């Protein structure tokens, strides 16, 4: 007979169920058309449970964005995750950029729809601030990766860590992924290959 779930595990599963419901509804109906009551009904919880857990619909969206980017509920910073440490420790510049493209692909495969919801709702000042924070966070990660490239003496003439991070932010962002994969029908694997090649051509000496 399976062991009974602890209270903490039950709460974690309920939280995840609400996040999953929100992700589906936000991407299907949009930010404005989705109500907290819709989320509660889809997750099979009371409306007050949603409010008690997240506080507001905006805070729910913020947590949804964080967890879809991370891939889990664990409070571990991006640069402390194993895949990021692998990138930073990689001695080959070309392989480092390939690993960056692979990491971006994995993140965007699960988070691009939620990022699109956030970007489409930036008429709301709080969500606009959430989008700016996300861009800043992505740039900070790419800057650390670019600094690792610079330390290897790999950046081509005319580039420093800041400009390299700017290029990586553009190439590996949800905008390019959405255009090529979602709109133009590229496979994620093809996008990853293009992204790695583009970064190498732009950045490596």
| 108 in the same domain as 46 | no
Task: Kindly state whether residue 103 falls inside one of the protein's structural domains.
Answer: yes
Task: Kindly state whether residue 122 falls inside one of the protein's structural domains.
Answer: yes
- What CATH number does the domain containing 32 carry? 1.10.10.60
**Mean pLDDT over all residues of the chain?**
95
Q: pLDDT at residue 2 above 60?
A: no
Task: Kindly state whether residue 85 falls inside one of the protein's structural domains.
Answer: yes
Average pLDDT over residues 165-175: 98
pLDDT, one tens digit per residue, over 54-88 is 999 999 999 999 999 999 888 899 999 999 999 99
| 82 in the same domain as 182 | yes
Domain that holds residue 110: 78-203
- Cα(137)–Cα(148) distance, rounded to whole angstroms? 17
Average pLDDT over residues 179-205: 97
Q: Whole-prediction pTM value?
A: 0.91
């Amino acid at each position: 007979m399976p062991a009974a779930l602890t209270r903490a595990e039950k709460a974690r599963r309920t939280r995840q169920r609400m996040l999953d419901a929100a992700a589906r509804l936000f991407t299907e109906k949009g930010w404005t058309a989705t109500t907290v009551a819709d989320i509660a009904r889809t997750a099979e919880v009371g409306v007050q449970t949603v409010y008690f857990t997240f506080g507001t619909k905006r805070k729910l969206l913020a947590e949804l964005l964080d967890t879809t980017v991370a891939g889990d509920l664990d409070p571990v910073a991006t640069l402390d995750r194993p895949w990021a440490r692998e990138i930073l420790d990689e001695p080959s510049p070309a392989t480092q950029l390939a690993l960056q493209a692979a990491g971006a692909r994995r993140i965007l495969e699960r988070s691009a729809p939620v990022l699109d919801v956030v970007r489409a709702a930036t008429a709301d000042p709080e969500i606009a601030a959430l989008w700016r924070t996300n861009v800043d966070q992505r740039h900070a990660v790419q800057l650390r990766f670019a600094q690792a490239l610079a330390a290897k003496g790999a950046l081509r003439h005319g580039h420093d860590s800041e400009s390299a991070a700017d290029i990586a932010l553009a190439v590996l962002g949800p905008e390019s992924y959405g255009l090529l994969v979602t709109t133009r029908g590229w496979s994620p694997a093809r996008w990853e290959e293009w992204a790695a090649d583009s970064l190498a051509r732009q950045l490596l000496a």
